[in-house]
Structure formats: structure tokens, C-alpha cells
Amino acid sequence: MWILFNLQVAVAYNNNDICTFDLDSLLPSIQTDENNQIQQEVEFSFIYNGFHSGSISSMDICTQRPILVTACQSDSSIRIWNYQAMRCELAKKFSIRNHANPLLSVAIHPNGYYLAAGFTDKVRIFYLMSNQLRIYREIALSLSNCIKFSYGGQILACTYQSDIHLFQSYTLEKLYTLKSPTPITQMLFTKNVVYFEVY
């Protein structure tokens, strides 16, 4: 007779993922072979559906939904986090031919239904679906390491070296190009003012 008290096993991997499995469901029905080796598959559950396998290189928060988006350049992935439910709702890895780790930056629209991501070759705009990112449009602007939507979401700002390119976010029509004496590292839109941080 087995007496079990909600036994859980946690496993940590080298890529920062953590998963668990329930021993309660495993122990009463353990099947072994002639050498007493366990011959049963175990179903692992990843905590928060996994993590980035490197440091977060870009992050943005949605103002109208409880969503946080993070990007990791070292594993070239985007993760959408629901900070109220405390879980990762969507994860997507990117690979582009002849580009190692092509993802550079990410920004989410204030309404939370689409996002912009800067890659080594282009800026891509994605619809944020319930279980996937679906590409909507592309902007031929390479190496954009800083992207930001305006306070109301009507303008998308993308950097290229020391230039800041402003686009109408719904039509992607180019509005202006601003010049900076040094490369831009951060941007912040408020209701009336745009702030830029330089090296």
C-alpha cells in the first residue's frame, strides 16, 4: 500500500528552464524491466512555460492590458508575460538565415494587440494573437536596437545608429527622421514630450 503526500519533483536545466512533475501519479504505477530500470514516461510541466536562456536585452509594458514583453538577444526569443496571472502566455524564437541571434529590441503597443521587434535586417510588426505572433508588416530598417510606441500608440519610433525614425504606427508611413550627435540607447514618450537617452 502506498501513502503519498503530494510529492513534486523540480528539475533545473542549464538554459534556465525549470520544470516539475508529480510523483503522486508516477509511484503507484511504476513499471520496471527485468533489470529493475523504470520504463515509464514522465510528463514535465515547465514553470511559466520556460524562461529566456540569457539576459533580457529589451523590455516593454502595455498600459491597457496586464502584459509585459521581454526580448533576449542571446537566444533570439520574445516572451509575453501576464503579470496578473504570473505566467508566460506566449514564447517565440526567431532565426533568420545568415544572422546569428537576429533579435535586438521589442516594444508593445499600448492597446496590447500588436508589437514591434527590431532585428538585424528589418523591423517587423506582429499581431499578438492568443497563441502566436503573426507578422503584419515590415519596415526596411536594419539594426534597430531601440524601439518605442508613443504614449497614445499613434507613433512608432525606431533607432538606427544616431538617427531616430518616426512612423505613423497604423499605416507605417514615415513621418520624420531626427538626428542625434550620438547613438540612442533609450526612448521614453510622455503625453507631450519625448525623452532620449544617449551613451
The pLDDT-based confidence of 3 (bands split at 50, 70, 90) is very low
Give the residue from 169, 175, 168, 145 showing the smallest Cα distance to 158: 145
State yes or no: pLDDT of 104 exceeds 80: yes
CA distances from 189 to 13, 140, 148, 152 (A): 39, 23, 8, 9
**Cα–Cα distance measured from residue 82 to residue 60, given in angstroms and rounded to the nearest whole number:** 12
**Which domains can be identified in the chain, with CATH numbers?**
8-47 (no CATH), 52-198 (2.130.10.10)
Least confident of 25-39, 82-96, 110-124: 25-39
Task: Give the pLDDT of residue 188.
Answer: 81
**Cα–Cα distance measured from residue 149 to residue 169, given in angstroms and rounded to the nearest whole number:** 8
CA dihedral 93, 96, 101, 107 (to 10 degrees): -60
pLDDT single digits (tens) 76-87: 889 898 888 878
State yes or no: pLDDT of 4 exceeds 50: no
The pLDDT-based confidence of 6 (bands split at 50, 70, 90) is low
Task: Give the pLDDT of residue 107.
Answer: 96
Per cent of the chain over pLDDT 90 is 34
pLDDT single digits (tens) 12-55: 777 666 667 776 666 555 556 666 666 566 677 666 666 777 78
